[in-house]
Amino acid sequence: MKIVLFSDIHANLPALNAMFADLDDRKVDAIYCLGDLVGYHVWPNEVIELIRARRIPVISGNHDAKVEKIKARGEKEPSEKNYAYNLINDENASYLRDLPAHIRLEYRSIKEQINLLMVHGSPRRNDEYVLSDTPESEVLQMMQEAGASILCVAHSHKPYHRIIKLEDQHCVHIINTGSVGKPKDGNPQGGYVILELSSQTTLVKPESIKVEFIRFDYDLRTAIAAIEASPLPNEFADMLRDAY
């Protein structure tokens, strides 16, 4: 079974369109979005509506979760940064408000049950980072409390696959999806993940869980020009250009 995981589009429509163009050429079985559809760019409604049209399950990111509060202020002259949130129409704001905090899957191979948990930040908070160098003990504690053997996260915009071996020789996996529309790893290409599980998948053999990181080009010039032509800070354009 091939599962696509993506996140952190941040209203970058050219990047999302390019991701789907790349993805549509691949044979996959399921697609999930780990949140942060909005913020930082000028196409939040188009991004939301495209994902909804494809009926992709989505969890709430920290930027998605704060839209309602920002819009409730009713700012006549929103700040440069808040401009991105005030573009969101009422229907899409309502959609974001109702997104779940996590998605849990139980995959049964002939070997054992694999418990896969998808969150935006961490199992505890949508704005908490689970990084490639987060202390092992802390990661294991949150995974144990959440009952997860594979933890899929986003939020940092930096893709990684981390494997931690337990005392009983089993392993747990942490996968960060990177970012479709606002990478922060020095590579301006968009990115997503394909996670592959099979009937032979087992937590005893790390290689039986396959993780592929996909990077793709998109129309970066158009994305940058749209920011620079808007009230958004020009720094947001620099972030796309230099991927920080």
pLDDT value at 189 more than 80? yes
* pLDDT tens-digit map of 171-183: 999 999 999 999 9
Mean pLDDT, range 185-203, rounded to an integer? 98
| CB-based contact 175:143 (threshold 8 Å) | no
Strands lying side by side in the sheet with 103-108: 103-108, 113-118, 150-153, 171-176, 160-165
pTM of the model: 0.96
pLDDT of residue 76: 63
pLDDT at 50 over 90: yes
Q: Exposed/middle/buried for 118, CB within 10 Å: 0-12, 13-18, 19+?
A: buried
Say yes or no to pLDDT of 196 above 70.
yes
Is the pLDDT at 75 greater than 80? The verdict is no
Domain count, the chain: 1
Q: What is the DSSP letter of 120?
A: S
Give the pLDDT of residue 77.
66
- Region of poorest pLDDT, from 1-5, 61-65, 78-82, 134-138: 78-82
Q: Which residues of 78-98 are buried (b: 16+ CB within 10 A; e: fewer)?
A: beeebbbbbbbeeebbebbee
Residue 79 has pLDDT above 90, yes or no: no
Expressed as residue numbers, the domain containing 39 is 2-242
Q: CA dist 182 to 41, 141, 204, 239, Å?
A: 10, 30, 35, 7
Domain CATH number, residue 116? 3.60.21.10
Query: If you search the block for the tokens 């109702």, which residue do you land on?
Result: 98
